[in-house]
Amino acid sequence: MKQRKVWAAAFAAVAMFAVAACGGDDAAEEVTEETEAAAEETTEEATPAEDYSMVKAAVVYITTPGDKGWSYMHDLGIAQMESELGIEVTRLELVPEGAEAVAVFDKLARDGYNLIMGTSFGYMDPMLEVAAKYPNVCFQHASGYKTAANMGNYFGAMEEARYLSGIAAASSSKSGKLGYVAAFPIPEVLRGINAFTLGARSVNPAATVQVAWTSTWYDPAVEKEAAQSLLAAGADVLAQHQDSPATGEAAKEAGAKWVGYNSDVAAADFPDTWLTSPKWNWGPHYVKLGKDVAAGTCDSTPYYGTMADGMITLGAYGSSVSQATQDLIAEKAADIILGVNPLPPEYVRYFSHAN
C-alpha cells in the first residue's frame, strides 16, 4: 500500500479556469485563426510545468558504475531519473554492507534527503533500521524482501531472462557442461541458477550446470579464479551472477563462450566469446519513485518488474548465436511476455525468504 506523508512545509494546487461568454452566431464567426492561436499559446503558457525540485535524492552503490554491470545499470536508471525530473541525485559508491551502510543511510537522512535508495541485498536490514528512525523519509531497497511504512523494495523477474540465456548457452555448448560463477546462495541467485538450468535443459536434457561460489559481488580476481576452475572441470560455456566481466576474460582466454549479466556493454570487448546477457532497465521505476516523493507519497508495495513491463530484457547476441537459436529464444520470450511462462509456478513471483 501507499503511505502518504507530508514532507514539505506546504503543498498547494492551483486550478485555472477559463470562462467563455456565449454570443450569437455572428459573434462566433468573428473569431479569427490568429485569436485561436493566441488563445492556445496563452493556455500553454498558463499550464505550470511539473516541479520536482523538492525531491532530494541519494543512491548508495556497493560497487561503482565502472563495474560495467550491476551498479552501471542502476546508474543509467538514475541518469534517466535526473533527466526526466530535472533533479540531481547524490551518488555514494563502494559502501560496504552492514554497519557502514547504517551510518551512511543515517547521515543521508540527517542531511535532509527525502528519497534514499540502496542497491545491494545486504543493505536491507541497515536500511530498515534507519527507516524506523526517520518516518518522514522515503527509503527504497533494490533486491530485498522487507518493507516498512516508509520503506519499499524493488526488483525484477530476472529468472525470465536467465531461462532464455540458458537456451543460448546450451545451444552453443559442445560438451553439454555449463559453468556458473555466483556470488552468494541467496534467493535471487539461486532462482537465477535454476532458471538458467531449466532453459539449458529445454534444448539439451542432458546439460549439466556446475556452480562456483565466490562469496563476493565484485572481486575480478576471485571471479576469474572461480571461472577458471569451472573451465578446468570441463565447462565450455560460462554464465555468472557477478558484477565484473572477469568471467568473460577467463572464457576468452580458454576459447570458451560466455553469458554475461546486468548489461551487454562488454559485448564489444569479447566478440568471439560473447553469447548474450540478462539485462536490467531500472530507469522507469526510478522516475516513478521520484514522482511519488514529489507528490508526497512513499510507495512501500514491493515492485517486481518483468519482461512484460520492460524492466527485464535480454541483451545483444554474439556472432556465434545461430539464427535458429535466436528465433527459438524470441518465441519463448514472446510466450513469457504473454504470460505463458515456461518456469514452475514458484518462479512467477518470488518474495518469500523461506523459498
Residue range 240-260, pLDDT digits in tens: 999 999 999 999 999 999 999
Domain 158-279+313-347 falls in which CATH fold? Rossmann fold (3.40.50)
Residue 95, Cα to own-chain centre: how many angstroms?
19
HSE on the CB side for 6, CA within 13 Å? 4
Q: How far apart are CA 261 and CA 244, in angstroms?
A: 9
Residue type for 68, please? K
37-46 pLDDT tens trace: 444 443 344 3
pLDDT band at residue 352 using 50, 70 and 90 as cut-offs: very low
Q: What type of residue sits at position 89? A: V
Secondary structure class of 149 (helix, strand, coil): coil
Length of the chain: 355
- Look at residue 9 and tell me whether its pLDDT is greater than 50: no
Same fold yes or no, 57-157+282-305 and 158-279+313-347: yes
DSSP 28-87: HHT--HHHHHHHHHHHHHHSPPP--TT--EEEE-SS-GGGSSHHHHHHHHHHHHHHHHT-
Provide the pLDDT for residue 4: 34
Cα separations (Å) of 250 from 80, 131, 192, 317? 33, 42, 21, 19
Q: How far apart are CA 298 and CA 293, in angstroms?
A: 6
Superfamily of domain 57-157+282-305: Response regulator (3.40.50.2300)
Residue-level pLDDT at 346: 62
pTM for this entry:
0.82
Ordered by start, the domain boundaries in the chain are 57-157+282-305, 158-279+313-347
